[in-house]
Amino acid sequence: MRDRFKRSVERLLPAEARLGDLFRPSPRHEERKAPAARRRPAGSMLEEVTGFGSNPGALRMFAHIPEGLPAGRPLVLVLHGCQQDAAGYDRAAGWASLAEERGFAVVYAQQREANNPRLCFTWFRPSEVTRDRGELMSIRQMVAHAADRAASDAGRIFVTGLSAGGAMAAAVLANYPDVFAGGAVIAGLPFGAARDATRAFEAMAQAPARSAREWGDLLRAVAPDGDRRPAISIWHGTADDTVALSNAAALAGQWRDLYGLPEEAFVEKRAKSRRTRIWPDGEGRALVSLTEIEGLGHGTPVTRGEGGGYAVSDEPFMLEAGFSSTREIARSFGIARRWRR
């Protein structure tokens, strides 16, 4: 099993790279502040934005705010996986095109090669996933900057991410439940699964053996006091040999424990190749859901089609699944209706 896992991770790396380099950050250089600027990657709807804050994690920010977007619309933060960038992820996931169709702002955080040569977010290092520190603080500043610029509804800010970006999305929800109304973690890991690169690889191969209570304690230790309870949906392929499916179960247990939801108190729904278990609160709101996609490997489920949220190109770790997870996730966020300009 460990040899198979090692081979699957090495697919993320060039042949000459060492396995440990996947999570080894390069020395971080101080980010120079500059006035807000917008640069559009070739063939992308996204614009790069600088000057969004002190940026202690030295990340890059990309955004798409539809022209004429009225105040009070939602905002979605998207976090790519290793060996990906914002523009490539968006070409296959279609969040910017869906924002045009349904009327919301979208923000992408992008890792820099100077931080990590494989473009992985540092989801396992405590200094990067502590509230108001490191990469997490940079991400929070991007969201604040975009929400201010778009006059977004503070009650409808969401996050989604894949793999390392999914693990970082879990950290975002854990540390900022007062900011985010919900999130979707794709092929990610529970918050606190590792504290260094060695244990990160071990967690990817098999989620650490902890009780739901122990997982929940990690959330209780960092979450500020408050009444906000962000909903979390978890998406994972049953054939993922890069991040083990056990991480999806651990992540679901972590948030069920935080919310006091019994493991057996779920509603199950089935669609072609998918099984979804939903744990609702007393008012029927889906607080935790877990979708397993039969036969899917490591990546975001996408498909080609007409309209927003569909893939327009083939990209690494964006896997044809016969459905658009982007559209499904947006629906779970309550972003279902087309926007009338």
- The residues annotated with a catalytic role in the active site are 163
Between the alpha carbon of residue 143 and those of residues 106, 140, 172, 341, the distances in Å are 9, 5, 11, 24
Query: 76: number of CA atoms within 13 Å, CB side?
Result: 31
Given the structure tokens 């992540």, which residue do they identify? 251
3-state SS assignment for residue 108: strand
Given the structure tokens 């966020």, which residue do they identify? 333
d(CA 13, CA 11): 5
Pairing state between β 231-237 and 182-186? parallel
79: left (phi over 0), alpha (psi -120 to 50) or beta: beta
Inter-residue contact 236 to 248 (CB < 8 Å): yes
The CA-based dihedral angle spanning residues 257, 262, 268, 272, taken in that order and rounded to the nearest 10 degrees: 30
Query: 137: number of CA atoms within 13 Å, CB side?
Result: 14
Which amino acid does the sequence have at 176? Answer: Y
Q: Where are the beta strands (DSSP E) in 30-104?
A: 38-39, 47-49, 60-64, 75-79
Q: Where are the beta strands (DSSP E) in 230-320?
A: 231-237, 267-271, 274-280, 286-293, 300-302, 318-320
3-state SS assignment for residue 159: strand
Query: 276: number of CA atoms within 13 Å, CB side?
Result: 19
By the 10 Å C-beta count (0-12 exposed, 13-18 middle, 19+ buried), 277 is classed as middle
d(CA 223, CA 173): 9
